[in-house]
């Protein structure tokens, strides 16, 4: 009787341990699950593919907008980032070219990723970047300085309430970035 | 499934002495006592941390602690109270009382039981040790939110390892409880007959088994983010700090019920005893407890209303959270209906149980308030939340634990506690608990954020009231300690049935409960909630 009980206890023990393992796996499974849910629902979508240039924009007249440029670096990182002009008077629908200078102040090769941010945030959907150093991770040799062109167009359908847009880049370190030796 | 007789229990009269009795303990009563004493020590440690917090908050400005250390105090206070005091205390009570209440000879896995206790002290030592390492203890709040937890010093690593060990400990304890309840009930002790405390412990144990591995997963991800170059929670590397909150609260919300359900079980034993009436609506109690357990997995994101969730998700989690108030309301109704027209007497366990119902309901109502997403956006991270969860954890979990210790003390020790001191302990705790935590509702409504060492001047008065209350409440717990220590050696000898209305199985045992009980399972005729109608056989020793 006692040994039968022992066997029953061990069977239940094994089932419960299996449940423990499953739930531990579930915690890790939440990582891809979260990504899929965010993709399906469109949450967290930073990059949205543009539709073909709409014709509705063509009817709207170009109008002047102030474009302010800024940059920041996460504390403790060896980057120096600055726009060559900090304020531009531009027009919607116009191709705008501007330049950023990035410098690696450290003695190591570093890999960085710039993330653009817009103020006001609603303006983000109307600024179409054609060329940007933020499209990929950038590898910098020790002490290297490089200038990057940024080409963008501000959509003519920009709401009338927005007459000034600030474009700010944050540069993050990519510890295991591409191109690291 | 129940057993007919477990005649061949090895080492029947084996009883080691001295330190071996405790270090190599396999007896459920010894391990239960270890758990309870350990939990009480950790309650004092966590309480001292709380008093440090209240001392700093007595006045605006920085008096005693710099903000870094203050954050460590709030973090460790939470972690120690949750994982070191409340959870071990409930596991200890389950260890002590479950075999007696369902007629089992011991817990199912005696040596694993030993391990689950002895993993606790090293884990808590790691946590406390982290105060003295460079950078200090973890300071990200007990929730250990990323990215803060990814950036902190090595105290965070110690905390992560401590949580791993605590997780293993509580999972082993929970497995023991499940197997004991499912397999070792005496003949006649059917599942729909067994005491509510057994039901609550069973469902709690299942919750622990299901969610502690999720917490282990979450802190492991933090660990690999910190040291092994992963980017689970680092936005720059393609990760997402919000993901941490989802994983954490998938554990965290069931954890809330891990600390509440056993309290429901205790109160469901104590109230019928002192109302001298059977528990009202036993079956609905079982289903209410189960549905709280199931629902607890579906509401986690109500802790995250301000993270920018879509309105649809907010509505889902809001309604699901409100839904939990229904089974909880059923339970509160049943307890009150049990007392209705009962022949009540107000010994200390009953006082704490009634105090529990009153204050837990207040905490439950502030919980329903917080569940409204539109309101939560205002109250999130404020002292209102602090008030809410201390009403359900201190007046809920802790009061029920006091009730349980006073209730079963005679059966455990063979002696009565000092009733006058017990009553003093209750009224003292009731008064100063409310003085401490009720003003926090007002502070939260007025906008005082939690986890800050300094505050705007207009919050001063309520903070001073709360601080005075906290010190008096803390002092009052020494009454409990004195009562227990005195009664252990000098208490009056207790009768086998110290409570007139106590009619569950544990009161059929001699007092104090013999070291080896039910070595031969009794034949039982049991009514609902474990009320023993008739018992045959059942040997001890």
* pLDDT > 70? residue B251: yes
pLDDT of residue A78: 85
Q: How far is residue B231 CA from its own chain's centroid? A: 34
Do A29 and A104 share a structural domain? no
Instruction: Answer with the residue of higher pLDDT: A158 or B350.
Output: B350
In this prediction, residues B424-432 reach a mean pLDDT of: 97
For the domain that residue A68 is a member of, what is the CATH number? Answer: 2.60.370.10
Compute the distance between CA of residue B267 and CA of residue B93 in angstroms, rounded to an integer: 13
Catalytic residue at B170? Answer: yes
Q: Assess whether A81 and A163 both reside in one domain.
A: yes
Identify which of B146, B201, B140 has the alpha carbon closest to the alpha carbon of residue B174.
B201
Q: Mean pLDDT over residues B390-415, rounded?
A: 96
**Beta-carbon separation of B7 and A1 below 8 A:** yes
Confirm whether B19 is domain-assigned: no
* Residue-range definition of the domain harbouring residue B238: 26-539
Mean pLDDT on B336-358: 96
A74-101: pLDDT as tens digits: 777 888 888 998 899 999 888 999 999 9
Please indicate, yes or no, whether residues A130 and A82 belong to a single structural domain of this protein: yes
**Tokens linked to A85:** 């002009």
| Cβ of residue A4 closer than 8 Å to a chain B Cβ | no
Asked whether the beta carbons of B265 and B94 are under 8 A apart, the reply is no
Do A11 and A91 have their domain in common? no
In-domain check, residue B11: no
Are A14 and A101 in a shared domain?
A: no
* Half-sphere CA count of B242, side-chain side, radius 13 A: 13
The pLDDT score that the predictor gives to residue A55 is 53
User: Per residue, what are the HEC states of A110-163?
Assistant: EEEEEEEEEECHHHHHHEEEEECHHHCCEEECCCCEEEEEEEEEECCCCCCCCC
Whether A33 and A69 map to the same domain: the answer is no
Arithmetic mean of pLDDT, A11-35 = 95
The pTM of this model reads 0.85
A113 and A66 share a domain? Answer: yes
Q: Does residue B279 carry a pLDDT above 70?
A: yes
What is the count of structural domains for chain A? 2
Write out pLDDT tens, residues B4-25: 444 444 444 567 788 889 999 9
**How many whole angstroms separate alpha carbon B430 and alpha carbon B233?**
42
Q: Identify whether residues A96 and A166 lie together within a single domain.
A: yes
B231 tagged catalytic: no
B253 included as an active-site residue: yes
Structure confidence at residue B17 (pLDDT): 81
Pair (A104, A163) in one structural domain: yes
CB contact under 8 A, B236 and A34: no
Give the up-direction half-sphere exposure of residue A6: CA atoms within 13 A in the CB hemisphere.
8
The pLDDT of B94-108, averaged and rounded, is: 95
Asked if the structure places residue B370 within a domain, the reply is: yes
Nearest CA in chain B to A7: B183
Pair type for strands A127-131 and B520-526: unpaired
Tell me, yes or no, whether B171 lies in a domain. yes
B3 pLDDT more than 50: no
Nearest CA in chain B to A31: B243
Q: Is B109 in Cβ contact with A23 (below 8 Å)?
A: no
Say yes or no: A91 and A24 in one domain.
no
Residue A50 lies in a domain: no
Residue A89, domain extent: 56-173
Catalytic residue flag (residue B517): no
Over range B192-203, report the average pLDDT: 97
Query: Is there a catalytic annotation at residue B246?
Result: no
- Among the ranges given (A84-98, B313-327, B400-414, B459-473), the one the predictor scored with the smallest mean pLDDT: A84-98
Residues A103 and A163 in one domain: yes
The pLDDT value recorded for residue B11 is 46
CA-based nearest residue in chain A for residue B209: A20
Q: CB contacts < 8 Å between A and B, how many?
A: 90
Active site annotation includes B516: no
Residue B135 · residue B151 · CB < 8 Å: no
Q: Out of A52-56, A143-147, B292-296, B430-434, which region has the weakest mean confidence (pLDDT)?
A: A52-56
Q: Give kind and range of the element (H or E) at residue B534.
A: strand B532-539
Q: Is the confidence at residue B325, as pLDDT, over 60?
A: yes
Known active-site residue B382:
no
In a domain, A180, yes or no: no
Residue B87 and residue A131: Cα distance in Å, rounded?
A: 57
Lowest mean pLDDT among A93-107, B251-265, B325-339, B450-464: A93-107
Cβ contact (<8 Å) for B240 and A5? Answer: no
Among the options B54, B185, B253, B411, which is catalytic?
B253
Q: What is the mean pLDDT of residues B197-219?
A: 97
A63 with A155: CB under 8 angstroms?
A: no
Number of domains in chain B: 1
Q: Determine what percent of chain B is predicted with pLDDT higher than 70.
A: 97
- Would you say residue A164 lies in a domain? yes
Domain of residue B199, CATH code = 1.20.210.10
pLDDT of residue B398: 97
Identify which has the larger pLDDT, B176 or A38. B176
In this complex, which of B212, B236, B247 lies closest to A30 when CB atoms are compared? B247
Record: contact B4-A1, CB cut-off 8 A: yes
pLDDT bucket at A57, cuts 50 / 70 / 90: low
**In a mutagenesis test of the A interface, which of B2, B6, B108 is the best target, namely the one with the most A β-carbons within 10 Å?**
B108
Lowest mean pLDDT among B20-24, B116-120, B172-176, B428-432: B20-24
Q: What is the pLDDT of residue A26?
A: 95
Distance from CA of A7 to the nearest CA of B (A): 11
Same domain, A67 and A124: yes
Check residue B394 and report its DSSP letter.
Answer: I
Chain position carrying tokens 């915690």:
A27
Q: Check residue B88 and give its pLDDT.
A: 97
Residues 6+ apart with CB under 8 A from B74: B53, B141, B142, B450, B451
User: Is A19 part of the contact surface with chain B (CB cutoff 8 Å)?
Assistant: yes
Is B20 in the active site? no
Tell me the pLDDT of chain B averaged across its residues: 94
Give B182's contacts in chain A (Cβ within 8 Å). Answer: 12
pLDDT of residue A50: 63
Confidence class for position B315, pLDDT limits 50, 70, 90: very high
Q: Tell me: pLDDT of B116 over 70.
A: yes
DSSP string, B487-522: HHHHSPBPPSS-STT--BGGGGS-SSPPSS--SEEE
Structural domain includes residue A95: yes
pLDDT for residue B2: 44
Using the beta-carbon criterion (under 8 Å), do B243 and A41 form an inter-chain contact? no
Q: What is the pLDDT of residues B138-184, one digit of tens each?
A: 999 999 998 899 989 999 999 999 999 999 999 999 999 999 999 99
Contact B287, B326 (CB under 8 A): no
Ordered strands of the A64-73 beta sheet: A87-91, A64-73, A164-173, A110-119, A138-140
For residue B202, the model assigns a pLDDT of 97
What is the structure's pLDDT at B238? 78
Among chain B residues, CA nearest to A26: B214
Give the ipTM of the model, two decimals please.
0.89
Q: How many percent of chain B have pLDDT more than 90?
A: 90
Mean pLDDT score, B412-439: 97
């Amino acid at each position: 009787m006692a040994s039968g009980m022992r066997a029953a206890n061990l069977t239940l023990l094994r089932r419960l341990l299996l449940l423990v393992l499953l739930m531990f796996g579930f915690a890790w499974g939440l990582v891809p699950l979260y990504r899929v849910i965010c993709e399906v629902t469109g949450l967290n979508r930073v990059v949205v593919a543009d539709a073909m240039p709409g014709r509705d924009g063509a009817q709207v007249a170009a109008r002047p907008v102030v474009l302010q440029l800024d940059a920041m670096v996460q504390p403790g990182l060896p980057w120096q980032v600055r726009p060559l002009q900090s304020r531009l008077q531009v027009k919607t629908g116009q191709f705008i070219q501007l330049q950023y200078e990035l410098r690696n102040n450290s003695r190591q090769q570093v890999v960085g990723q710039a993330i653009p941010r817009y103020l006001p945030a609603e303006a983000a959907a109307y600024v179409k970047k054609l060329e940007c150093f933020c499209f990929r991770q950038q590898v910098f040799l020790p002490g290297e300085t490089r200038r990057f062109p940024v080409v963008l167009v501000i959509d003519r359908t920009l709401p009338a309430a927005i007459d000034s847009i600030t474009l700010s880049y944050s540069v993050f370190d990519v510890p295991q970035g591409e191109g690291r030796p | 499934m129940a057993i007919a007789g477990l005649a061949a229990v090895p080492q029947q009269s084996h009883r080691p002495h001295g330190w071996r009795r405790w270090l190599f303990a396999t007896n459920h009563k010894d391990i239960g006592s270890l758990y309870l004493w350990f939990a009480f020590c950790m309650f004092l440690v966590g309480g001292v941390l709380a008093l440090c917090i209240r001392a700093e908050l007595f006045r605006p400005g920085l008096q005693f602690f710099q903000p870094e250390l203050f954050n460590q105090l709030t973090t460790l206070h939470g972690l120690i109270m949750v994982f070191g005091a409340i959870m071990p205390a409930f596991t200890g009570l389950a260890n002590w009382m479950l075999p007696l209440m369902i007629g089992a000879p011991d817990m199912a896995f005696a040596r694993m039981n030993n391990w689950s206790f002895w993993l606790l002290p090293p884990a808590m030592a790691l946590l406390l040790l982290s105060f003295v390492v460079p950078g200090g203890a973890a300071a990200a709040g007990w929730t250990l939110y990323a990215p803060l937890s990814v950036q902190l010093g090595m105290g965070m690593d110690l905390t992560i390892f401590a949580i791993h060990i605590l997780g293993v400990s509580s999972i082993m304890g929970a497995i023991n409880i499940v197997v004991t309840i499912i397999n070792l009930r005496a003949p006649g002790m059917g599942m729909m007959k067994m005491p509510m405390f057994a039901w609550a412990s069973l469902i709690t144990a299942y919750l622990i088994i299901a969610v502690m591995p999720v917490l282990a997963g979450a802190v492991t991800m933090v660990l690999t983010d910190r040291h092994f170059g992963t980017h689970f929670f680092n936005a720059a590397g393609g990760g997402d700090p919000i993901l941490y909150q989802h994983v954490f609260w998938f554990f965290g919300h069931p954890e809330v019920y891990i600390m509440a359900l056993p309290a429901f079980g205790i109160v469901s034993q104590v109230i019928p005893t002192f109302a001298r009436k059977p528990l009202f609506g036993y079956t609905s109690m079982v289903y209410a407890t189960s549905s709280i357990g199931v629902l607890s997995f579906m509401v986690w994101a109500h802790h995250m209303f301000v993270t920018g969730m879509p309105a649809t998700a907010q509505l889902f989690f809001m309604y699901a959270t409100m839904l939990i108030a229904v089974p909880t309301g059923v339970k509160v109704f049943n307890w009150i209906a049990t007392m209705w027209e009962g022949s009540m007497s107000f010994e200390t366990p009953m006082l704490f149980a009634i105090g529990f119902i009153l204050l837990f309901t207040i905490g439950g109502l502030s919980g329903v308030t917080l569940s409204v997403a539109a309101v939560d956006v205002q109250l999130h991270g404020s002292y209102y939340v602090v008030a809410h969860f201390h009403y359900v954890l201190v007046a809920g979990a802790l009061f029920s634990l006091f009730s349980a210790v006073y209730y079963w003390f005679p059966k455990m020790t063979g002696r009565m506690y000092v009733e006058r001191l017990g009553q003093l302990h209750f009224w003292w705790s009731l008064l100063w608990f409310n003085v401490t935590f009720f003003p926090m509702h007002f502070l939260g409504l007025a906008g005082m954020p939690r986890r800050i060492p300094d505050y705007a001047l207009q919050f001063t008065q309520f903070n001073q009231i709360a601080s005075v209350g906290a010190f008096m409440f803390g002092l009052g717990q020494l009454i409990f300690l004195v009562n227990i220590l005195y009664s252990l050696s000098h208490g009056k000898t207790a009768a086998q049935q110290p409570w007139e209305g106590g009619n569950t199985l544990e009161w059929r045992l001699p007092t104090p409960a013999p070291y080896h009980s039910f070595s031969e399972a009794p034949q039982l005729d049991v009514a609902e909630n474990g009320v023993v109608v008739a018992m045959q056989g059942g040997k001890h020793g």
